[in-house]
Amino acid sequence: MTDSNPIQATPSSAPSRRWVQLILGIVCMSMIANLQYGWTLFVNPIQDKYHWSKAAIQVAFTIFVVTETWLVPIEGYLVDRFGPRPVTLAGGLLVGLSWVLNAHADSLTMLYVSAAIGGTGAGAVYGTCVGNALKWFPDRRGLAAGLTAMGFGAGSAMTVIPIATMIKSQGYEATFFRFGIVQGLVVFVLALFLMSPRPGFAAPTATQKARWASRRDYTPAQMLTTPVFWIMYLMFVMMAAGGLMATAQLAPIAKDFRIADVPVSLIGITLPALTFALSIDRVLNGVTRPFFGWVSDKIGRENTMFLAFFAEGVGILALSRFGQSPVAFVILTGIVFFAWGEIYSLFPATCGDTYGSRYAAANAGLLYTAKGTAALLVPLTSVLAASGGWSAVFIAASVMNLFAAFLALAVLKPMRRRMQVEPSPLVAPLAPAGA
């Protein structure tokens, strides 16, 4: 399938232009980050105005994540067919429209429709930027994907304080409207400069270790028949669920702990505990993606998964035990987000290692739908909290993370090793270089 994007890099400009393309993708990703990571700031104000239950409001968050993730394989196909520009232009329009509608949503139905629109737009931007980074950096896919995903993880850090301040001073409606316009407009403008490399683009040669991948190229249909995919999918769901619970419920948790507005002084900065936690968390949630991607290149994917997933499980338990201290709340939520965000680097890298490069975008897109599956569990946290308190939510999330850590070493690692030694006879071997 050829890329019909009308503007493509020439061979002479490609080596430098690919870094420009990477930066454009990172900025676009940062503009859609608030749709997920800033949502928690709006939950309590919406409830205070309309007196809807938190569980009902959080259904909107679930709809957003489901539409943002489950449509990525389709949006990835559109990028391959028509290029990154038209898909991202449409994404920018939908992202802006979503928050403008949120500003006027006076019913749960309207809130849910807006969430679906925002999820579709965010997924278009996310899938395009990650896919474009993989095309421009075939020699550094882990780093490029990690840096691009970092934009989504840390992008809201710069706007957490302005959003929180505007909500208090002007109301959440005005905040939705103004930030929606700005975020959508920035994505729309930057989309005009996005382009794909020409077919046959040759990047600097990677090392043999960096080029390691499956000895077979699995199509998406063939991948779905392998047990390894479903083990990874289960692990992804469990890890994503714990992190999404914290993302969506952090503000309600801080409010129930009665520490949201308590001043905390760390590293020479004094901010309310919730605002401080959200700011640090966004940064750490972004930095972790390229960091753990780099670590996994050194010590192996499953070994890195075990370390990160175990730290996440322990961090959540500690947050349950000591989180009512404002200082501990800020520090421990930082640890939790740092140990969570790396899943968006580790799982795509592991998928590419296991199933080859030819269908890497489609295969990684299918695996990414695990985030949407995990989002289905988020509304249950409000119900669980109502019956068993936040400690019940923390324990459930911790158990899932610790079990995923166990699966990484005890199940996934030996299964992948067997696939490397005994690839499926139904899957064609890789074509020789230059064939």
Beta bridge partners of 9: 197
Contacts of 25 (CB under 8 A, 6+ apart): 128, 129, 130, 132, 133, 148, 151, 194
Average pLDDT over residues 189-196: 94
pLDDT of residue 69: 85
Q: Do the domain assignments include residue 41?
A: yes
pLDDT of residue 424: 61
Based on the domain organization, do 99 and 231 belong to the same domain?
no
Based on the domain organization, do 350 and 219 belong to the same domain?
yes
Q: Do the domain assignments include residue 205?
A: no
Contacts of 247 (CB under 8 A, 6+ apart): 36, 37, 39, 40
- Domain termination site, one of 165, 198, 231: 198
Q: Do the domain assignments include residue 3?
A: no
Based on the domain organization, do 111 and 226 belong to the same domain?
no
Does residue 217 register a pLDDT over 80? no
Looking at the structure of the chain, the number of domains it has is 2
Q: Do the domain assignments include residue 433?
A: no
Based on the domain organization, do 278 and 366 belong to the same domain?
yes
Based on the domain organization, do 232 and 176 belong to the same domain?
no
Q: Do the domain assignments include residue 354?
A: yes
Q: What is the pLDDT of residues 395-418, one digit of tens each?
A: 888 899 999 999 999 999 999 999
Q: Do the domain assignments include residue 336?
A: yes
Q: For the chain, give the longest Cα–Cα distance.
A: 64
Based on the domain organization, do 236 and 184 belong to the same domain?
no
Based on the domain organization, do 99 and 119 belong to the same domain?
yes
CA–CA separation, 365 and 131 (whole Å):
9
Q: Do the domain assignments include residue 435?
A: no
Does residue 254 register a pLDDT over 90? no
Q: How confident is the model at residue 21 (pLDDT cuts 50, 70, 90)?
A: very high
- Domain termination site, one of 142, 173, 198: 198
Based on the domain organization, do 39 and 64 belong to the same domain?
yes
pLDDT of residue 104: 94
Based on the domain organization, do 192 and 215 belong to the same domain?
no
Q: Which helix (H) or strand (E) holds 271?
A: strand 269-272
Q: Do the domain assignments include residue 432?
A: no
CA–CA separation, 383 and 417 (whole Å):
41
Q: Looking at per-residue confidence, does 67 or 207 come out higher?
A: 67
Q: What is the pLDDT of residues 266-305, one digit of tens each?
A: 777 778 888 888 777 777 877 889 999 888 878 988 999 9
Based on the domain organization, do 158 and 215 belong to the same domain?
no
Contacts of 430 (CB under 8 A, 6+ apart): 214, 215, 216, 217, 356, 358
pLDDT of residue 208: 42
pLDDT of residue 332: 87
Phi, psi of 216 (to 5 degrees): -135, 150
Instruction: Provide the CATH number for the domain around residue 311.
Output: 1.20.1250.20
Does residue 189 register a pLDDT over 80? yes
Based on the domain organization, do 191 and 259 belong to the same domain?
no
- Domain termination site, one of 173, 198, 223: 198
Domain encompassing residue 297? 210-422
Contacts of 94 (CB under 8 A, 6+ apart): 117, 118, 120, 121, 122, 124, 184
- Least confident stretch, 68-72, 80-84, 353-357, 425-429: 425-429
Asked if 380 contacts 62 with a C-beta cutoff of 8 angstroms, the reply is no
Based on the domain organization, do 262 and 375 belong to the same domain?
yes
